Every structure is written in structure tokens, then in C-alpha cells.
Structure 1
């Protein structure tokens, strides 16, 4: 028998987990765009559960759930990407920044900021053009498909705004998360 076994009440502290109720929920960590994304996520979860329940429990699938789940997943992805843009947590390759001299790393980081912002602006423009040209209706329900493209455009617009904010912050501070990767 081992003497290393912790009592159950000591396990959360031992592994760095705060027991429920000790930390207050921090609303400042969330932007206003996170809340509609959370609502859409739970609607998506309900639709997928309805699809599963109707198909495997009732034996007869509800026809519109597959298409609506697909569109809701798109909406969650694009609206949720605004959160990643705000936190500057989109995927990035940090390897080269670790071995570059400070000035070169900062210059490349600024180029990444500008390129990211231009990409989001292009995404807004392209998704608006696509939405404006779309006349098709969704297959299973009587809703125009351009609604989805306009929501994608809003997602790109939110990412663009958050990207501009991150870029301004990086310019003011003189460094970004990429250039401080050496210190980690």
C-alpha cells in the first residue's frame, strides 16, 4: 500500500485545480461577441442532440437538423474566431522568432499584424460580395442562404476590428506575443 495517496478533498489543490466557488467568474475576460457565440453553440448542441435522439432513439430522423447543424457550426466558427483574434491566439509559427535578433523579430511581427488585418479585410469584402450574389434558399427550411454568408461577413468584420485593436496594442508596446516567445 502506497503512502502517497492523497485524500479526495486534497486532490484539486494538488493538481492546481481550484475547487468550485473559490474563484469569482471574471466577466472581463470575455468580449461582447462571445455571448452570442455561446448562445449559438448551445443551439447547435440542442440541434445535434435532437438529430441523434430522433435518428437513434425514435428511428426516424428529423430532416432539417443536419443542414441547420452544418450552418450553425459555420456561425460558431466565424463568430468564435473574433474571440481568437481579440486574444491574439490564432495559430502562429513561433519557432523562427525564438532565434531572430530583437529588431528583426519585431519587424516581422508587425508584418504579421498588417498581413492578418489585410486578410480579414479581404474576407469581409469577399463574403459581402458572395452574400450579395446569392439568391438560393436553404434546402430544408425556407430561409435564404445569404443569411449565412452575411453572418460570415460579420465574423470577418469582428475579426478585422479585433485585429486592428491588437495591432495598435503591439505598436504601442513595441512587441507582440511572438517576440516575447523567447522569454517563455
Structure 2
């Protein structure tokens, strides 16, 4: 070992304080998404275990993993809408004059609400017309479409809440205020 490197002792490590969990910081979609995610994790583990350890895979695990992943994505998107963490092009919000940025933010809020209304309506019509059953499980595929519809409706609700908040405050999460520098 070189002379300029000193081995670490237990005294040199700094321990970070643990974040405190406050259940009020989370909404119902967070908890439902967590449950569906763990169902997905168990399903994928069961698929891996049966295929590589037992040598014979369970037929329904692959199809269920695919559908559970879709449900996690749409419910997780509702979380992202609530937190305002979807990907956005922030250049225009940050570098345009305040009135232009605010107008663009309002336009984005309106387009987002319209998009989620359209997505909800299309998903509802698709679920209503789907009569097929899943291949390996005796469950109608329309159940998955209805769960996607729930995700769209939650995204619509959260985007309406965000739009109302933006209109009341006269700002958006993407617009810097004068104090932000």
C-alpha cells in the first residue's frame, strides 16, 4: 500500500441521517403503484426461479409480468403528473420574458388536460370493445385496459389540480421567479 493513502477507520465515515417517512407526502396512487410493483417483482422472481432453478417455466408469469408493467407505468405516470416530474422542454419557460413563459405554461396546462381527456376517452372505448381473453390466464384483456383508464383518469385529475394551482399562483413549476436567480 502506498504511503500517501491512509486506510479508512470507522471514525472517518459520516453517516447520513435517515429521511423521515411521512405518509401524508404520498397519495393513493403511490401506494397502489407500490403494491402493483411488488406483485410485478414477485411475478418476475417466480418466472426466473421456475425457469432457471426448476427447469420448467410457469406459463402465465410472462404474460402477467407484461400486463403488470403496463399498469405500473400508467399509475406511476399519475404520480409524475402530481409531482410535476414529467420530462419537459424548459428552455422556453426559463429564458422567455415572464408574461410569455406564463402564457406558454398555461397553454401547456390546457393541452395536457385535453390530451388526458382524449387518452381517457380512447382507452374507455377500447376497453369497452375488447372481448378477448388473456392467453394464459382466464381474465378478460379489458381489465388491463380499464386499469390503464384509471391511470389516465388519475393523470387527468392531477393535471387539472396542477393547472388550477398554476392559474391561482400565476406561475408554473418550470418558471423561475426573480428570487431563483
Would you identify which runs of 4 or more consecutive aligned residues in structure 1 move more than 2 Å?
Answer: 1-13, 181-184
Q: CA RMSD in A?
A: 1.9
Alignment CA distance shift 1:100-1:28 (3 Å): same
Aligned length: 178
Q: What is the rounded CA distance, in whole Å, between the counterparts of 1:66 and 1:37 in structure 2?
A: 19
2:136 corresponds to which of 129, 136, 140: 140
2:58 corresponds to which of 62, 67, 72: 62
2:166 corresponds to which of 139, 146, 170: 170
- Secondary structure, in 3 states, of the residue corresponding to 2:64? helix
Alignment CA distance shift 1:83-1:181 (3 Å): farther
Deviates more, 1:1-10 or 1:85-94: 1-10
Q: Which consecutive residues of structure 1, in runs of 5 or more, have no partner in the other structure?
A: none
Q: What is the rounded CA distance, in whole Å, between the counterparts of 1:96 and 1:8 in structure 2?
A: 49
Q: What is the rounded CA distance, in whole Å, between the counterparts of 2:12 and 2:159 in structure 1?
A: 42
- Secondary structure, in 3 states, of the residue corresponding to 2:137? coil
Q: What is the rounded CA distance, in whole Å, between the counterparts of 1:180 and 1:6 in structure 2?
A: 43
1:160 corresponds to which of 148, 156, 167: 156
CA contact (8 A) 1:97 1:181 kept: no
Relative to the length of structure 2, the TM-score reads 0.91
Alignment CA distance shift 1:178-1:54 (3 Å): same
- Secondary structure, in 3 states, of the residue corresponding to 1:64? helix
Please list, as runs of the form range in 1=range in 2, the aligned pairs for 1:1-184 lying within 5 A after superposition. 1-2=3-4, 7-8=9-10, 11-13=13-15, 17-18=16-17, 20=18, 23-180=19-176, 183=180
Q: What is the rounded CA distance, in whole Å, between the counterparts of 1:172 and 1:96 in structure 2?
A: 21
Measured after TM superposition, the shift of residue 106 of structure 1 is 0.6
Q: What is the rounded CA distance, in whole Å, between the counterparts of 1:169 and 1:99 in structure 2?
A: 22
Q: What is the rounded CA distance, in whole Å, between the counterparts of 1:110 and 1:178 in structure 2?
A: 11
- Secondary structure, in 3 states, of the residue corresponding to 2:176? helix
Q: What is the rounded CA distance, in whole Å, between the counterparts of 2:126 and 2:7 in structure 1?
A: 60
CA offsets 1:157-178 (integer angstroms, 9 cap, x no match)? 0000000001100111110111
Alignment CA distance shift 1:86-1:5 (3 Å): farther
Alignment CA distance shift 1:179-1:141 (3 Å): same
Measured after TM superposition, the shift of residue 29 of structure 1 is 1.6
